[in-house]
Amino acid sequence: MKVLLTGAAGFIGSRIALAAAERGHDVVGLDARGGDGVHTLDLRTDPLDAVLGDVDVVCHQAAMVGNGVDAQDLPGYAAHNDVGTAELLAAMARAGVKDLVLASSMVVYGDGRYDCPEHGDVPPAPRREDDLAAGWFDPRCPVCGGDVTWRRIGEDTPFRPRTGYAASKVAQEHFADAWCTLEGARTIALRYHNVYGPGMPADTPYSGVAAIFRSALARGEAPRVFEDGAQVRDFVHVDDVAQANVLSIEQVADHPSGVTPYNVASGHPFTIGRMAEVLAEAGGGPAPVVTGDYRAFDVRHVLASPDAAAERLGFRASVHPEDGLARLATDPLRTRWE
């Protein structure tokens, strides 16, 4: 198939390009920053019709990434992620291209879902300042204020975006859904968990926590772990993410009209504290320091079920976080945000 890949020079996009080419697909890469063998095009402002002429499927990875620093980042996320996606979808409609694989994110779920012994499945209540100051970091039941336990969430979990990036990802899925309705088209939205691996951007406020810790160790500094380090995440290797995209490229035409979301995760719960320990041990650096610092808006636990992707796409992650994060200790990182 002929695949138009946006964000082809980026961290994830570059690995998708390699994986898709290895499967025999003809990949046409676009990226606003350019790159080897990549067309330099900005989705927001440059004409796209010429590059869409004989394309079978679009794999859309281009985005402003990270969770943002403050509210001043909101216009940037809307301009890059949402306007860019809207322009791309409009061009796809003109070209008659009806299959899209969209890079979404688990951040659309916010802080996930929890189980309360009395009230069952509940969203978390906003964390209270007095709890945080006292070192109690887990959320409480929004009904009774009692203790809750995290649980895995499925793709039917309601959206609860907490940041500008998360809101832009929700909007991208909604734009895709509207395009599908208008055009009788199909979209697979891949909701990535915490992606890591070689080529991660380093030393920016928008880097993932794994890259931030890795950069600290490279400077000879101890990783500084917020809260108590017991925050639960799912770390999924970039090569597994690339494989999920290739499977989606090959199967999106067999999906029904509309947006079909899939969680893309390793399936292995991992705490932030343990991640820092693995990196430090593998890299021979100083042990992590658990600071107790906190930000009220941070997500405490979010972990999604990978079962739908396994059953319907045939995707199962092959890299266990214990192994992949150990390799990250010596993997090369990008020195600028891309």
The answer to the question of residue 121 being in a domain is no
The answer to the question of residue 123 being in a domain is no
How many other C-beta atoms lie within 10 A of the C-beta of residue 313?
22
19/39 Cα distance (integer angstroms): 19
- Which pLDDT score, from 0 to 100, does residue 211 have? 87
The answer to the question of residue 90 being in a domain is yes
The answer to the question of residue 138 being in a domain is no
- Non-local CB neighbours of 246 within 8 Å, separated by 6+ positions: 16, 19, 20, 23, 25
- Which pLDDT score, from 0 to 100, does residue 201 have? 84
CA–CA distances in Å: residue 248 to residues 102, 198, 219, 223, 241? 9, 22, 39, 36, 11
- Which pLDDT score, from 0 to 100, does residue 336 have? 58
Q: Is residue 68 packed enough to be buried (19+ CB in 10 Å), middle (13-18) or exposed (0-12)?
A: buried
Q: How many residues does the chain have?
A: 338
Number of domains in the chain: 1
CA angle 319, 38, 20 (to 5 degrees): 35
Structure tokens at 28: 């046409």
73/165 Cα distance (integer angstroms): 9
Structure tokens at 141: 């039941």
The answer to the question of residue 73 being in a domain is yes
Q: Is residue 285 packed enough to be buried (19+ CB in 10 Å), middle (13-18) or exposed (0-12)?
A: buried
Query: Can you tell me whether residue 18 is helix, strand or coil?
Result: helix
- Which pLDDT score, from 0 to 100, does residue 139 have? 95
Q: DSSP for 249-315? A: HHHGGGSPSEEEEEEE--S--EEHHHHHHHHHHHHT-PPPEE-----TTS--B--B--HHHHHHT--
CATH number of the domain at 107, please. 3.40.50.720
Structure tokens at 332: 């090369």
The answer to the question of residue 323 being in a domain is yes
Query: Domain residues for 84?
Result: 2-112+153-329
- Which residue in 216, 209, 229, 213 sits closest to 271, CA to CA? 229
pLDDT tens, per residue, the chain with 338 residues = 999 999 999 999 999 999 999 999 999 999 988 777 798 999 999 999 999 989 999 999 999 887 666 788 899 999 999 999 999 999 999 999 999 999 999 999 999 999 999 999 999 999 999 999 999 999 999 999 999 999 999 999 999 998 899 999 999 999 999 999 999 999 999 999 999 999 988 766 556 788 889 989 989 999 999 999 999 999 999 999 999 999 999 999 999 999 999 999 999 999 999 999 999 999 999 999 999 999 888 889 999 999 999 999 999 999 999 999 999 999 998 875 44
* Per-residue DSSP letter, 334: B
Q: Please name every residue paired with 31 in a beta bridge, in sequence order, or none if there are none.
A: 40
- Which pLDDT score, from 0 to 100, does residue 67 have? 66
